[in-house]
Amino acid sequence: MELRMILMPQLYNNTLTILNGEPTADVMPDCNRVVTIIDYDSGSRWEGETNEGVEEGYGEFYNDFGILVYRGEMHKGKRHGYGTSFFPDIGLEYYSGTFYNGDRYGYGIERNRFGDVYREGWYVLDEFISNVLTIQKDKDLNFLHTQLTELHIGDNTLNSIPSLPLEQLNVPLRTGTNHDWIVLLYW
């Protein structure tokens, strides 16, 4: 069998990328996704894409008073990808940024009830991260001990770094598989 092309589906915009890199719009099957309105018993509703009756893709969620509370991407019924949350009583923008599995996760902007930017930066598991150290690839890590008050390392976080001088660190160190840590590495 001869390989003629490689197809890379991109669910976020419903396209296929062919081996030569050119996107071909609207050729990917909809994977049972339909645009619909789901009215919930509580009075709230979802207007957008669904897959087998579950929010999947882009849409808008309204509370039981008909006020828009979320506009953006959903995956398996949870906020996932880029989206905007709104105050549920007044409908003004509260947060715009990225979500993961229902939580604010990644870069985002939070606003107060007057629409002014309250804070901007990184979120992990719905919590704002006030101090983030970014380590660039091929940088000397010997300075690390001067920048940290605590270091949390998760599984597979530092795979591409040949060594980390932990003996120089005079800070508490935790390792593990839970998600109460963050190490941001940009390559």
Read off the pLDDT band of 35 (50, 70, 90): confident
Tokens of 130: 């006030």
The answer regarding whether domain 33-129 maps to CATH 3.40.50 reads no
Which 3-state string (H, E, C) describes the chain? CCCCCCCEEECCCCEEECCCCCEEECCCCCCCEEEEEEECCCCCEEEEEEECCEEEEEEEEECCCCCEEEEEEEECCEEEEEEEEECCCCCCEEEEEEEECCEEEEEEEEECCCCCEEEEEEEECCEEECCCCEEECCCCCHHHHHCCCCEEEECCCCCCCCCCCHHHCCCCEEEECCCCCCCEEEC
What integer is the mean pLDDT of 80-100?
94
What integer is the mean pLDDT of 24-35?
56
Average pLDDT, the chain: 72
The yes-or-no verdict on residue 65 having pLDDT over 50 is yes
- C-alpha 90/C-alpha 69 separation (Å) is 9
The pLDDT score that the predictor gives to residue 77 is: 93
The yes-or-no verdict on residue 96 having pLDDT over 50 is yes
Q: Name the strands in the sheet holding 127-129, side by side, starting at the edge strand that comes first in the sequence.
A: 33-39, 45-51, 54-62, 68-75, 78-86, 93-100, 103-111, 117-124, 127-129
The pLDDT score that the predictor gives to residue 164 is: 59
Q: What is the pLDDT of residues 104-151, one digit of tens each?
A: 988 899 999 999 999 998 888 888 887 655 555 555 555 555 555 555
Q: What is the pLDDT of residues 1-21, one digit of tens each?
A: 333 444 444 444 444 444 444
Read off the pLDDT band of 161 (50, 70, 90): low
Side chain identity at residue 186, one-letter code: Y
| Residue intervals in the chain for CATH 2.20.110 | 33-129
The yes-or-no verdict on residue 72 having pLDDT over 80 is yes
- C-alpha 174/C-alpha 155 separation (Å) is 11
